[in-house]
Amino acid sequence: MSQPHRGRRRSQDAAGPVRASRGPLRFAPAVVLLLASTGLGVALAITADRGVPESEVDNRPVQITGDGYVTSETCRSCHPSQYDTWYGSFHRTMTQVATPDTVRADFDGVRVAHTHGRPMWLERDGDEFWANFDDPGWEGPEPERPRIRRQVVMITGSHHQNIYWYATGHDRGLNVLPGVYLIKEQRWASRSAVALHPPSQSVAMLNGHWNAICIVCHTTLGKTAFDTPYRSEPFDLQAIDTTVAEFGIACESCHGPAQAHVEANRNPLRRYGLHRAGGVGDGDPTIVLPTRLDPERSSQACGQCHSVWEFYDRAGERHANRAGLPYRPGDELRDTRFVAQPSVDRDSPEILAFVEDDPEFVRGSFWPDGMVRVSGREYNGLIDSPCFRHATEPDRTLTCFSCHTMHKPAEDRRTVAEWADTYQVSTGMDGNDACLQCHEPMRDDLTAHTRHGAESSGSRCYNCHMPYTSYGLLKTMRSHTISSPTAGETAELDRPNACNLCHLDKTLDWTADRLLEWYGTPVPVLSDDERRVAASLLWILKGDAGLRALTAQAMGWVPAQEASGTSWMVPHLGEALGDRYDAVRFIAARSLRSLPGYASLEYDFVAPEPERVNTAVRVLRAWRASPASRQRREPELLVDADGALRVDAMRRLFDQRDLRRLFLRE
């Protein structure tokens, strides 16, 4: 039995909130005199906290400095340019306290339907945000499930989705609202609807999930501080004193704790001497610059979050729970955690243990050959790339920093917002220069290699060698395993190849012939359907839910639309409006709206099934009555010579659909 919980108890129920007391305006002590006698000026920093001091907040995790961490505000005084670009990045906003400045969703009397039972109601009370919804922890009869009213205190995500976390009323423990706010669409949706998961399985809402799981990659030096292992005992019997050095991915996540650096560089003469000697990082052992590390360890600074990993044992988990993860930039990442790489260690004791605990562990994150298939895990893709694994020279080894930068340089003419929105791709690295910096001989005659026109999307290196085969957050992402397209990866692994992701109207047999002719790539054994039916139609009719999502997204990709035409896509995207997986329906509708004549399509992917089916039927009927249905009369597109859909063939392929349950760990 655990010890009684620490901290003050808070009581919250459907009757109304218990508000934190608000004291008078409090000012933090001034931090004075950074540069004094050098004639370079004096910096005076005064901070003000207009609410409850962080140390007195008791209903959520709090920011506390220590362990050598000094926070990004301290870094700002000497590194204002780097601070400003970081501040505009999505790394900073991975976790935020819920305030009127950070909450992007509408809370003013909003009703959110289809959220694990009865609708959720949202309201704003001054500067506070509240939600009323069915109690996710109720274990009694469903008709008696009570309503609870909780204060929203934290937010994760800021680029595509906002996920909102509420105070459970027990110590600093959090749980997640049953609704997610989709930023671009400016709408709420069920949390289960925005995850690619089996229709009969709701996404779990577990007390303490943020404290134990999300904290690892969404904060800087997060300490879960459960007094017993997470979920080993009832939540309300566990003491939870979760703290972080800083919310979000801050300076010290990538550069390491900076207290020694700050103290060593209080003397401006030392700083001046280091810069003259070649720059802080080359000559200053008190801080880490990942770009100055060897290729393997520089990318591990990113891989600490962007990977599929686990603790080696319970002792490692308990240490991280108490003191935070032990990895610091510059360390060897695998010394303190197991990074899953099924392509080379499928039979390792660690992976076998994962599979024993969860038989779908590998399939939920990787393709059958071990290539990662979910977004946010790009480090797993990098370390499987030949440009990383087989490089013989450090300065020609692929790293995260070959293409990305963590700070927008002054010469980059993009705004900080534009730079951040392109995943912080470096200046000029959004084109072929990213690859040609190492593959220089191809520059003078690129088309001889690509067999496409110089201005064609087929002459963009990343379209062929980094296709959109990863999925997450209702969208697809480029693979970060650099590879060459083959028909075999589709025939043998059910993974889309780059050629057919662009030439959606072509068969796998067509791709195999071109690759044999151009590059001598062996032709795999193909089925009759793979020789006669467009690969994209096999994927969207027969594939598992993840493959269907990738295909629906590809039909909305402009280069693929230009290469393949769009008129024939309508009935297949229309059919996907009735898919059993919410995420597939959402993506299909988005792609359909990108086609000529469908921009104003009215369709709600979480509406009742009869309503969704009626929309799909209307789309199909309108297409049949339009000239577009007669533009492409090609058997590989399942259209007869008279322009009629081959419904019998579609039904036959649909009956072969991969119906295995799929929960992608995005």
262 contacts 284 by C-beta, under 8 angstroms: no
Supply the pLDDT for residue 20: 33
Distances (CA, A) of 101 to 362, 417, 652: 40, 17, 53
The DSSP call for residue 146 is P
140: tokens are 């009694």
Q: pTM, whole model, 2 decimals? A: 0.90
Check residue 574 and give its pLDDT: 97
What's the one-letter identity of residue 257?
A: P
What pLDDT shows up at residue 282?
A: 54
Residue 212's nearest CA partner among 246, 238, 178, 181 is 238
Helix, strand, coil shares, percent, the chain, to 5: 35, 15, 50
**How far is 425 from 428, CA to CA, in rounded Å?**
8
Token pair recorded at residue 92: 């900073």
What pLDDT shows up at residue 279?
Answer: 47
pLDDT confidence of residue 23 = 33
Bridge partners of residue 488, in order along the sequence: none
Cα–Cα distance, 382 to 376 (Å, whole number): 12
Q: How far apart are CA 132 and CA 144, in angstroms?
A: 16
As averages over each run of 10 residues, the pLDDT of the chain (666 residues) reads: 31 33 32 29 32 89 97 96 97 98 96 88 97 94 95 96 98 97 96 93 92 97 97 96 98 98 87 58 82 96 97 95 98 97 90 86 95 98 95 86 96 96 95 93 94 96 98 98 98 98 98 98 98 98 98 98 97 97 98 97 95 95 91 94 92 97 95
Give Cα separations from 306 to 104, 376, 484 (angstroms).
Answer: 26, 5, 23
Tokens for 19, please give them: 């508000």
| Measured CA angle at 222 (ends 219, 227), to 5 deg | 145
